[in-house]
Chains A and B, each alone.
Chain A
């Protein structure tokens, strides 16, 4: 075998040039798949670590058109892996910058950036998602992931999901137990409740007088030493100092939110957390470490992103194969010594799953002046539900059930329901399956239309055994919860119904822990 190293004659036409450029792609994929890819339009949600990698891979695979959506802006700590961004790009839109950065090697691919939140229905209505052949998720948060997954299910488009995560586990309990700022009185009170300390170490209130005397001797430079595990007095020093800084800012800026990159708020949280840990006999941590916990920072590196973006783009080839689902794989990082990744075929749907255990459809209305009663009537007629259904909008806003018919005469507009709202209809008799309906407004229509689907019967559930929680445990839990939940912000105005519903929800959640 000998390869000839002369250059091919200078090619002239556009097609010839493309062919010379893509000759390897054609050999690997075959002409048919290659053509399909170059005629495909795909959506990439997220231009972060995996997103940057995916964008590069998809471009060099020859995808015809790629839209990139991201609401985020660039931060210094992104630059160790989000290789399309530079120091000069900090604070700029990720989507716009990424698209501009790849212009150099983009070949014939058409690119379009979208700076915005993918969950914003006015910017990205369901109809917008319809234009794509494949959707790639490269997101860093669960909420948006779940949302895009739902959109893909509504319109039946292939979705390829990817994500990396580092050390997230130990974080949550710790942060819950720390965000509390009274270190003496409350502790004394708590320490008095003997039942609490049967199995736990009793807290020791902070000897404030003793420590406060030492504070003057401390150098202010301690505040910037974020790798040192501060002593108790150093923590107290930082706490008081950060409180002073926050107080001064409060006068001009008003209410301040915690931000891991806002040094004043971070100092406060670190010092308060450590003091609280000290009281409760929990190991104290450096500011560097607590920033990770409080800021929910997930360690991230270029290599993991590159590997999984590579797999994600490779998996997209299955979409063009004879058996897209059968050929697809779930791929995970492996801990075994004899393989780098583990993989398995896609899992069958779970009837209890919020995403795949329910049916989905689209409801189209001519205008938002339509009354809820009209929709209710159509739902029963079309899908065969009995009268006893409940309708929830969005995450948990109940607008109709058997005992709550007040809204039937209200228009969608009055109920502040609009295009992009999602109805969740469930059968209170547990006879038929639940359905999720995406609302679209189509002024050209005259009637309400619903997707043609037959609602399946609900599979029979086994009777769940009652939770065995002793009263004592319950009480203890509540005492703890009281302290810990206080800091969660409640929206100022709430309908009585919603509160009731949320309360039952949170109670159920607690008892299953």
Chain B
């Protein structure tokens, strides 16, 4: 039996019932880094701290602006102009769960050494642009650390995941034909299948291996065609995908007053077209409304969207740590207007 204290079991009762003692123990032993205490960053922090994470480091060099008061529930008007990770803010995070070891850092993440990053089991970046993702991804890849990136633009957002390679157990209802080990596609493989019975229910315990593409290579050899083999299927892809990937080419506006941020539909169109060319999606109908929406809402943080994306990301992190379920591989796109959340492998 894994050693969780009586107090921990009582506190985490409702979630242990979902993912088991062993997973809870793994969560408690992990150290996660969250870069940028944005609206979505704060939501992730809340979820992980409540979930009973062992060690958490948050890094953000920004100051609290007036606009942040409608996007981060750890801030209040008395903290205007203070550091986003002011000691008061840290206390408020800690109050959520006194058992978590929390470190806040107000330095610039880009100035940190490789050795500094080496202590983390997972790196989570929020509101990053392409240049920043490339930079952090070089570090995470060379240190073999799983990486999550989440960006939001008003009602739209995305999560990019690079777990390098990852194995997990999947519990599947018994099939008429027994599942066999083997490659399902270029990023996923069934390594082992075992038939099990629990409470008179038969199921197959599948050990799955997921392989990931590093960020700098996703546009080089896109895998979309493997999953959308015909033109008809390719053309059904929602153009939010290319618009949001296009956004990555625009420098992040995080920690800047939104009043000074202006992105035109035209410049976004240019970047989106470039992505479409690289992904082989040139015949895709680029939805003008989405372009217009995303250009206007570029860099805007919106609480419900942050809550949804942070919830998905945190859930995936917990699954990843507990080696359960199939993790996101590798791009989740969120369209809040249509309430859609497709996951693509690119």
Q: Does chain B have a CB within 8 A of A57?
A: yes
CA distance A80 to B318 in the complex (A): 14
Tell me, yes or no, whether A463 is within 8 Å of chain B by CB.
no
**Roughly how many angstroms separate A83 CA and B307 CA in the complex, as a whole number?**
13
Nearest Cβ on chain B to A18's Cβ, whole angstroms: 9
Q: Mark A300-340, 1 if CB is under 8 A from B, else 0.
A: 11111111011101110000000000000101001001111
Is the CB of A27 closer than 8 A to any CB of chain B? yes
A300 to B16, CA, bound (A): 9
Given contacts A80-B51, A307-B311, contact A301 B15 (CB under 8 A): yes
Contacts of B312 in A (CB 8 A): 303, 307, 340
Say if the beta carbon of A451 comes within 8 Å of chain B. no
Of listed A6, A304, A340, residue having the most chain B CB within 10 A: A340
In the complex, the answer to whether A81 meets B14 with C-beta atoms within 8 Å is yes
Interface extent on B, as a size class?
Answer: 35 or more
- The interface residues of chain A lying within 8 Å CB-to-CB of B200 are 283
By size class, the interface of chain A is 35 or more
Query: What is the CA–CA distance of A60 and B338 in the complex, to the nearest angstrom?
Result: 21
CB < 8 Å neighbour of A309 from B154, B307, B340: B307
> Taking A2-B251, A24-B302, A28-B300 as contacts, is the C-beta distance between A8 and B11 under 8 angstroms?
no
- Nearest A-chain residue to B315, judged by Cβ: A303
- Residues of chain A contacted by B96 (CB below 8 angstroms): 83
Q: Do the beta carbons of A307 and B307 come within 8 Å of each other? A: yes
State whether A300 and B15 are in contact (beta carbons under 8 Å apart), knowing that A8-B66, A57-B307 are contacts in the complex. yes
**A297 is an interface residue with CB less than 8 A from chain B:** yes
- Smallest CB separation, B30 vs chain A (Å): 16
Nearest Cβ on chain A to B232's Cβ, whole angstroms: 17
Q: Which residues of A contact B76 (CB under 8 A)?
A: 104-105
Residues of the B chain whose Cβ atoms lie less than 8 Å from the Cβ of A299: 14-15, 17-18
CA distance A77 to B11 in the complex (A): 5
* A24 adjacent to B67 (CB under 8 Å): yes
**Chain B proximity mask over A338-373: 1 for CB below 8 Å, otherwise 0:** 111101000000000000000000000000000000
Which A residues are in CB contact (< 8 Å) with B15?
Answer: 80-81, 299-302
Task: Select which of B66, B251, B255 is within 8 A of A17 by beta carbon.
Answer: B66
CB-based contact B14/A3 at 8 Å = no
Q: Are A311 and B66 in contact (CB under 8 A)?
A: no
Residue in chain B with minimal CB distance to A49: B14
Whether A61 is near chain B, meaning CB under 8 Å from some CB there, is: yes
In contact, B10 and A77 (Cβ under 8 angstroms): yes
Complex contact A314–B73 (CB within 8 A) = no
Can you name the residue of chain A whose Cβ is closest to the Cβ of B249? Answer: A1
User: Does A79 belong to the interface (CB within 8 Å)?
Assistant: yes
Per the 8 Å Cβ criterion, residues 94-145 of B in contact with A are 95-97
Q: How far is the CA of A4 from the CA of B81 in the complex (A)?
A: 16
Q: A80-B51, A297-B14 are in contact. Are A306 and B70 (CB under 8 A)?
A: no
**CA A62 to CA B70, docked complex, whole Å:** 8
Q: Say yes or no: A306-B47 contact (C-beta < 8 A), given A3-B253, A8-B257.
A: yes
- Tell me, in angstroms, the Cα distance from A60 to B10 when the chains sit together: 32
Q: Which of B52, B69, B301 has the most CB of A within 10 A?
A: B69
B223-247 residues at the A interface, CB under 8 angstroms: 227
- Whether A23 is near chain B, meaning CB under 8 Å from some CB there, is yes
A260 CB, nearest partner CB in chain B, Å: 11
- A336 and chain B: residue at smallest CB distance: B343
Interface residues of B in 249-268 (CB under 8 A from A): 250-251, 253, 255-261, 263, 267
The reply to whether A21 and B81 contact each other, CB–CB distance below 8 Å, is: no
Whether the Cβ atoms of A302 and B51 lie closer than 8 Å is yes
Provide the bound-state CA to CA distance between A79 and B15, in Å: 11
Q: Which residue of chain A is the closest to B328 with respect to CB atoms?
A: A340
Partner of A60, one of B21, B70, B97: B70
Q: Is B164 on the interface with A (CB-CB < 8 A)?
A: no
A5 CB–B CB distance under 8 Å:
yes
Q: Is A166 an interface residue (CB 8 A)?
A: yes
Which A residues contact B (CB, under 8 angstroms)? 1-8, 11, 17, 20-25, 27-28, 53, 56-57, 59-62, 76-77, 79-81, 83, 86, 102, 104-105, 107, 166-167, 170, 227, 283, 292, 297-307, 309-311, 313-315, 329, 331, 334, 337-341, 343
Query: Which are the 8 A-B pairs with shortest beta-carbon distances?
Result: A307-B311, A310-B307, A310-B308, A60-B303, A299-B18, A3-B256, A306-B311, A20-B66
What are 5 contact pairs spanning A and B, CB under 8 A?
A28-B297, A104-B76, A105-B76, A167-B17, A309-B304
